[in-house]
């Protein structure tokens, strides 16, 4: 007899989404809630909206604040989360020779250190939980900037932080497999979120899409969230340590 098909539902699951007040994080939190998960959003912005979603305010760069926030999320969800999406991030444009240490640290501390701190606390709490899930999953938000450079929008600090997320994802996947925790990453390309700067000049932005993006359009946050949800679900039960690109074909050219 064949095994029953895995579901894309998250009924009975508890999810923590960082950076969930806007953009891809918000789309992911909303999608998880729609599919039955109890969701806590960890964000510096307290404007968290959506049915079935609770908000926890914290700065992911601060280890002490992260510990307190994950504990608060556990209390509000009724148990430790067994799904984690690290979507908190910042994007800054600056030529490498003009970068100072403060700018470098802001981006690396948010995008890479923050991903590490939240994931570490997530797994620590799972390990000490009496009724811990055997199907836990972490999905980290990387970027195609980890793979390709861009002379038009130079951002060495951002690129380095996202390349670090890809490497960190692989290492976490190997270390935490014995805990029943799968760890994957999603690498979006140009996505229509508040972080996007390309369309500040609509004419130039459309010219880029026409010339560089095979699908010739921006991606939508919901489209990325769908891939995040797949990786977090049991449909991806044999996928760990992977980075899935969602970029309309840019890195295929």
- Residues with catalytic annotation? 158
Task: At 195, list the tokens.
Answer: 């972080």
**For residue 83, which of 136, 39, 132, 37 has the smallest C-alpha distance?**
136
Question: Is there a contact between 201 and 156 (Cβ–Cβ < 8 Å)?
Answer: no
Beta-strand relationship, 243-246 and 181-188: parallel
Beta-strand relationship, 14-18 and 38-43: parallel
**For residue 81, which of 117, 39, 114 has the smallest C-alpha distance?**
39
HSE of 235 in the Cβ direction (CA atoms, 13 Å)? 13
């Amino acid at each position: 007899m064949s095994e029953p098909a895995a579901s894309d539902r998250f009924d009975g699951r508890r999810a923590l989404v960082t950076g969930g007040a806007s953009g891809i994080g918000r789309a992911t939190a909303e999608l998880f809630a729609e599919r039955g998960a109890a969701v806590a959003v960890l964000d510096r912005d307290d404007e968290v909206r959506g049915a079935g979603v609770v908000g926890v305010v914290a700065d992911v760069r601060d280890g002490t604040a992260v510990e307190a926030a994950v504990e608060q999320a556990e209390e509000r969800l009724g148990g430790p989360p067994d799904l984690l999406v690290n979507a908190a991030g910042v994007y800054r444009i600056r030529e490498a020779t003009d970068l100072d240490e403060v700018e470098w640290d802001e981006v690396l501390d948010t995008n890479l250190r923050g991903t590490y701190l939240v994931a570490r606390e997530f797994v620590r709490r799972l390990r000490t939980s009496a009724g811990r899930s055997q199907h836990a999953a972490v999905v980290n938000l990387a970027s195609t900037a980890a793979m390709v450079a861009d002379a038009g929008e130079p951002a060495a600090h951002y690129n380095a932080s996202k390349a670090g997320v890809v490497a960190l994802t692989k290492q976490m996947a190997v270390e935490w497999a014995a805990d029943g925790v799968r760890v994957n990453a999603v690498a979006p390309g140009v996505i229509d979120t508040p972080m996007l700067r390309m369309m500040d000049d609509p004419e130039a932005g459309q010219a880029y899409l026409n010339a560089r993006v095979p699908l010739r359009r921006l991606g939508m946050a919901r489209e990325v969230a769908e891939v995040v949800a797949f990786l977090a679900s049991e449909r991806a039960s044999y996928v760990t340590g992977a980075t899935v690109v969602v970029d309309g074909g840019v890195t295929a050219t």
